[in-house]
Amino acid sequence: MKSAKLFRYTLPMDSGVILRDEKLTERVGYVVELNLNGQRGYGEIAPLPGFSLESVEEAGLQAQAQLELWLAGQALEFDALYPSVAFGLSMALLELSGAFPVEGNYLAAPLCTGDPDELLPILSAMPGDKVAKVKVGLYEPIRDGMLVNLFLESIPDLTLRLDANRAWTPGKANKFAQYITPSLRQRIVFIEEPCQKPGDSLSFAINTGIAIAWDETLQEAVKRDDFRLEDLTGVKAIVIKPTLIGSVQRCIGLIERAQALGIKTVISSSLESSLGLSQLARLSHWKLPNVTPGLDTIGLFKAQLHVAWPGCELPVMPLAEQNLVWQS
């Protein structure tokens, strides 16, 4: 017995969420529910406004067409689909197969904003490496440099992941680096995309000794037919956001190739709901068991969806209360 449903969900967001200079008041996406002989598999399809090329409407139409093919017994060609659709459908099929481990890595690298003392209790409760995250590029680079240096000086066993989102010119990036004590720079695990141009980011890494990671550059590269991860040289890490990359199989392929090349990999969120976020935590634990994922976004929502994120007290909205737009 085979059936499928497609739900469209709407979740309220925290009032302070800004994406590419646009305020995001609600998160809208789709959830696929597959049923095969009593077994169920779920997948979230949620293009990220300002980052995904496909709109929510385009993703929904494509998902429905693919579900009809699946019900007809046809194999799905994930590489031909929008990344968000490929990820959601492949995840639902993986879950349906029973091959997807249930255990997840729900630890998140805490976001540092100001006072190092506020971070200490969180870090002390973390097993393994003490890693935290700092958003840079929103203010003057001098301020960012002084803040990062303060955290590294104040907490000797702390390592930091920095995210700049291509905010800096080469001059501003170098100004930031001037305020990081050279002996502390090795404790910056990486900074994601410091400059607007990838070549400038590579120069920054060479000149300062601060490791960088590809995020947007990876998203752009995987769309090319001749993509090879080894062409994205000079970085210490890649950040995989499956909603923006594609199918689970493509993501696993990237993880395995990165490991062969000695490149660190981090699974990160694209503001998925608690359902999709929990699946990313499971994927990270399965394929990257010793790496803390970048899944610290549940606090940006005002409600959860279908499943609860461990330790989160936000109300959980049942999938059955969302808009069922198609079923067969």
Predicted confidence (pLDDT) at residue 129 exceeds the cutoff of 80: no
Q: What is the CA radius of gyration of the chain?
A: 20
Catalytic residue positions, numbered: 135, 241
- CATH 3.20.20.120-classified regions of the chain: 116-299
Write out the two tokens for 279. 């699946």
> What pLDDT does residue 233 have?
79
Which top CATH class is 116-299?
alpha beta
Does the pTM exceed 0.85? yes
* 26 annotated among ligand-binding-site residues: no
Question: What are 271-299's pLDDT values in tens digits?
Answer: 999 999 999 999 999 999 999 999 989 98
Query: What is the third-level CATH fold of 2-101+313-327?
Result: Enolase-like; domain 1 (3.30.390)
pLDDT of residue 22: 78
Residues of the chain with CATH 3.30.390.10: 2-101+313-327
Instruction: Report percent pLDDT > 70 for the chain.
Output: 97
Question: How confident is the model over 172-223, as pLDDT tens digits?
Answer: 999 999 999 999 999 999 999 999 999 999 999 999 999 999 999 999 999 8
Strand residues in 13-153 grouped as ranges (E): 18-19, 22-23, 26-36, 39-45, 130-135
What is the DSSP code string of 286-307? HH-TTS--B---GGGBSSEESB
Any binding-site annotation on 163? yes
Residue 117, annotated as binding a ligand:
no
